[in-house]
Amino acid sequence: MPTFTKREILAGLAAFAGAPAVAQTPAAPVRVVLTTALGAITVELAADRAPITTANFLRYVDAKRFDGAAFYRAMKLRPAPPLGLIQGGLRGDAAKTFPPIAHESTRQTGLEHTAGTLSMARYAPGTATSEFFICIGDIPSLDADPTAPGDNLGFAAFGHVVDGMENVLKILAAPVSASGGDGAMRGQMLDPTVAIVTARRAS
């Protein structure tokens, strides 16, 4: 099983990013159901602690822009107990992508990249748009670390899985292309991708 440095993880999560803008703050916490081809995943968003990132995610949900998107990456750090992440979103579809948002680091929010955490993929801080990922197991290297060199602001965690983690694991275990993906993402691209059929606020 391959191992990946923090730099390689960062490079992979940087795909399909752009330049900053600020989203509106939502009024209250909310749950969203991602219905995928391998089952439903329910996430609870931390609107009180990560309001900008939560509002951004809900823009895509409410505009139904995640409908027909996909989980397309499975980074498998360890087979047992499973450790890694799955990544999904619009893959840079300009027609469906809203402007990027300001970065909310884990030092600001107090959230951490533990098992089941929902977080935003990005390139530089302030470039997150539609790409998101779910952690399988604890991955503290994705948290902000002011003692680290270079880009040390980590990723913007903004929620966690409350139901359907077994379906997250199904996506992590799905087949990947041996040659697909560039750089750090090589060998991590799902083949076929796992469709996000719908994304809706839970009733």
Task: Give domain limits for the chain.
Answer: 6-201
Write the CATH number of the domain with boundaries 6-201. Answer: 2.40.100.10
Confidence band of 26 (pLDDT split at 50, 70, 90): very low
Query: What does the alpha-carbon distance between residue 113 and residue 156 come to, in Å, rounded to a whole number?
Result: 9
How do residues 61-78 score in pLDDT, each as one tens digit?
Answer: 999 999 999 999 999 999
How do residues 130-181 score in pLDDT, each as one tens digit?
Answer: 999 999 999 999 999 999 999 999 999 999 999 999 999 999 999 999 888 8
User: Global pTM?
Assistant: 0.87
